[in-house]
């Protein structure tokens, strides 16, 4: 406990004075030495340390009171002090230089300047206020901290005096020292806080100063009062701060007076006595302790020995067991290996045997399979051959049928062609016959038709290989071919004119042909009246052979379109009448003949056409 307190005091002294007393190092070294070294040495060392420390404090305090300022705080604070001293000497900024300008421009410029100045002043004032506020806060904080430090120092000093002056029991002394140490710690912390706060305050003051400098640097008149006020505030704050610091210093510095020192020495002596007493007590106690400790040690050694023996025994046992097991394992391995080799041999033998057997089996199976394969192949082949043959037969059959059909089709087509040809020919014939019959109609009143030669030629051409038609075509009378025929109407008209003549020469024949007969026949014709037209009977009797009757019959027939009958009847005329109507008869015969032939041809052509024309 004592050592701890001493160490704390040394550390504080180190921090405060920046002089590491050599004894502290020594003390460290001593502390780290083993427990077995003599306690007296330790005690002496501690006492020396204490005295040295206290003496040092006293001597140093007496030597340089001012330098406390420098040594209590850090070098930075010293610098700050210096800076602080310098800052107060700064004065306000110079005036703004004025130049000659035109009036309007000046006015505008002034207005602009004013505006600018107002803006800037507003901003500057704001900034100044901010920095002032912050610095004031910091300063107050610093001052507070300084006061707290002061309080702590005072407390510590009291506690120290108390500890030194009071005559109390060692335990309580120790407590007191403990309290003192605590108080020292508090003082240290308080001092640190104060320092920190002071540094902060200094910083803020510096910032404020810089702001002030800036605003001063702006050179605006409206800002100046604000700047001055700020500067005043700054100065006040700095002054307060310094006062507090000085107070602190004074408190720290003027701590120890002569009485105090004497008291301190007395206290030190007392303390030494106390410590000596304690030391003696300690010696005795120590001896007892050592004996007890030795005893204990012996017991412990014995125990340790026993335990060591036990453990050694156990270890040996364990080792033996392990060895045994290892040996067992090795043996097992060896056995296993041997077993494996034997098994391998057996396996090899087995595989050989199996191989042989497999070979034999393979042969057998192969032979079997080959046999089966060959038989199957044969079967397949025969089937295949059969199928192909069948296919071939079928194909041949189909081909034959197709060929036959083709032939049939060809024949049909040929016959068709033939039939078509026939049909064409028939049509040609028919057309030519039609042309012929049409040409018959070309006969106008008392003008014969066109010569039928062309039409007949056309008919002959169109039926070159048709004998019947050819015969018919060649049966046409020559006259009709060369000259044409008269139509029935013309013949009818002619007959009407001829009739009167025939009537007139009705009496004239081979035997009676004098003029007198002529006169008589004329008379007869004039006096005899017969029916204009009379239907002829189916059979002519002898009295029907009268020319007048015949003529009326013929007339009737002609009127009813029966040229043939008329011609027949007219053919019954005899004598001069006959001679007179001879050429008419010839013409009639010609016409009839031609018409007959043409009718025949037409009928034939129609028949042939009908025969060849295929009904749809």
Partner 1 sequence: MAKDGILTCYGGMSHVTSCFSREIFLTAENMADEHARKWDRCLADTAVKTVTGLGVGIVVSFIAFKRRAWPLSFGSGLGLGMGYSNCQHDLRSPYLIHGRMVKDQ
Q: Is 447 helix (H, G, I), strand (E, B) or coil?
A: strand
Q: With contact defined as beta carbons under 8 Å apart, do 280 and 39 qualify?
A: no
Long-range pairs for 604-611 at CB < 8 Å and ≥24 separation?
A: 604/429, 604/433, 604/468, 604/469, 604/472, 605/426, 605/429, 605/430, 605/433, 605/434, 605/469, 606/430, 608/422, 608/426, 608/429, 608/430, 608/466, 609/423, 609/426, 609/427, 609/429, 609/430, 611/426
Q: What is the CA angle 97-103-109, rounded to 5?
A: 55
Radius of gyration of the chain (CA): 88
Q: With contact defined as beta carbons under 8 Å apart, do 452 and 486 qualify?
A: no
- What is the rounded CA–CA span in Å between residue 374 and residue 356? 27
- Report residue 11: phi and psi, to 5°: -60, -45
Q: With contact defined as beta carbons under 8 Å apart, do 138 and 203 qualify?
A: yes
- What is the rounded CA–CA span in Å between residue 336 and residue 560? 152
Strand partners of residue 444: 447
- Concatenated DSSP letters for 222-260? THHHHHHHHHHHHHHHHHHHHHHHHHHHHHHHTT--HHH
- What is the rounded CA–CA span in Å between residue 15 and residue 9? 10
Which stretches of the chain bind partner 1, using CB under 8 A? 446, 494, 497-498, 500-501, 505, 508-510, 513-515, 518, 522, 576, 579-584, 586
For residue 392, count other CB atoms closer than 10 A to its CB.
Answer: 10
CB closer to partner 1 out of 508 and 601: 508
- Concatenated DSSP letters for 286-339? HHHHHHHHHHHHHHHHHHHHHHHHHHHHHHHHHHHHHHHHHHHHHHHHHHHHHH
Q: How far is the CB of 499 from partner 1 (least distance, A)?
A: 10
- What is the rounded CA–CA span in Å between residue 102 and residue 19? 72
CB closer to partner 1 out of 295 and 446: 446
> Distance of CA 506 to CAs 348, 578, 585, Å?
159, 9, 16
CA 294 to chain centre: 90
Q: With contact defined as beta carbons under 8 Å apart, do 455 and 436 qualify?
A: yes
């Amino acid at each position: 406990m004592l050592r701890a307190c001493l160490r704390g005091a040394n550390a504080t002294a180190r921090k405060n004075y920046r002089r590491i007393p050599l004894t502290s190092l020594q003390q460290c070294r001593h502390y780290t030495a083993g427990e077995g070294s003599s306690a007296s040495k330790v005690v002496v060392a501690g006492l020396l340390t204490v005295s040295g420390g206290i003496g040092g404090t006293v001597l140093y305090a007496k030597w340089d009171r001012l330098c406390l300022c420098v040594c209590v705080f850090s070098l930075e604070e010293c610098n700050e002090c210096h800076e602080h001293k310098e800052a107060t000497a700064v004065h306000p900024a110079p005036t703004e230089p004025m130049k000659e300008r035109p009036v309007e421009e000046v006015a505008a410029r002034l207005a602009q300047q004013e505006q600018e100045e107002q803006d800037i002043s507003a901003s500057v004032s704001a900034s100044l206020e901010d920095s002032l506020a912050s610095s004031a806060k910091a300063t107050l904080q610093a001052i507070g901290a300084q006061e707290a430090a002061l309080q702590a120092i005072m407390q510590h000093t009291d506690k120290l005096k108390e500890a030194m002056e009071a005559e109390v029991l060692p335990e309580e002394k120790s407590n007191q020292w403990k309290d003192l140490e605590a108080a020292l710690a508090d003082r240290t912390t308080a001092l640190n806080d104060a320092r920190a706060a002071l540094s902060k305050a200094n910083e803020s003051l510096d910032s404020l100063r810089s702001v002030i400098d800036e605003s001063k640097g702006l050179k605006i008149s409206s800002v100046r009062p604000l700047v001055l006020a700020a500067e005043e505030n700054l100065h006040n704050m700095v002054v307060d701060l310094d006062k507090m610091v000085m107070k602190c210093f004074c408190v720290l510095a003027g701590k120890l007076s002569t009485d105090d020192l004497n008291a301190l020495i007395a206290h030190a002596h007392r303390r030494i006595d106390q410590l000596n007493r304690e030391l003696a007590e300690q010696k005795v106690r120590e001896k007892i302790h050592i004996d007890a400790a030795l005893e204990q040690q012996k017991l412990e050694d014995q125990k340790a020995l026993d335990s060591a023996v036990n453990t050694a025994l156990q270890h040996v046992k364990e080792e033996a067991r392990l060895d045994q097991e290892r040996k067992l394992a090795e043996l097992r391995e060896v056995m296993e290996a041997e077993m494996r080799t034997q098994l391998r041999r057996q396996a090899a033998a087995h595989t050989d045997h199996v191989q042989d057997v497999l070979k034999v089996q393979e042969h057998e199976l192969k032979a079997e399979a080959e046999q089966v394969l060959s038989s199957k192949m044969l079967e397949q082949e025969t089937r295949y051959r059969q199928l192909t043959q069948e296919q071939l037969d079928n194909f041949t059959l189909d081909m034959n049928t197709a060929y036959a059909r083709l032939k049939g089709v060809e024949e049909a087509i040929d016959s068709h062609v033939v039939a078509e040809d026939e049909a064409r020919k028939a049509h040609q014939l028919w057309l030519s016959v039609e042309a012929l019959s049409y040409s018959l109609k070309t006969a106008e009143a008392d003008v014969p038709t066109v010569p039928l030669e062309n039409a007949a030629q056309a008919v002959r051409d169109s039926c070159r290989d048709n004998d019947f038609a050819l015969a018919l075509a060649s049966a046409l009378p020559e006259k009709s071919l060369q000259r044409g025929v008269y139509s029935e109407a013309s013949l009818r008209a002619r007959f009407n004119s001829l009739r009167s003549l025939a009537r007139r020469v009705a009496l004239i024949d081979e035997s009676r042909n004098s003029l007198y007969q002529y006169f008589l026949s004329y008379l007869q014709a004039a006096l005899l009246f017969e029916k204009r037209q009379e239907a002829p009977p189916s059979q002519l009797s002898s009295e029907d052979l009268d020319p007048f009757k015949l003529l009326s019959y013929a007339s009737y027939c002609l009127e009813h379109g029966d040229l043939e009958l008329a011609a027949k009847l007219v053919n019954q005329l005899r004598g001069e009448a006959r001679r007179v109507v001879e050429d008419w008869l010839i013409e009639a015969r010609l016409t009839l003949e031609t018409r007959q032939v043409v009718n025949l041809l037409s009928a034939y052509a129609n028949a042939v056409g009908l025969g060849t024309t295929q009904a749809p």
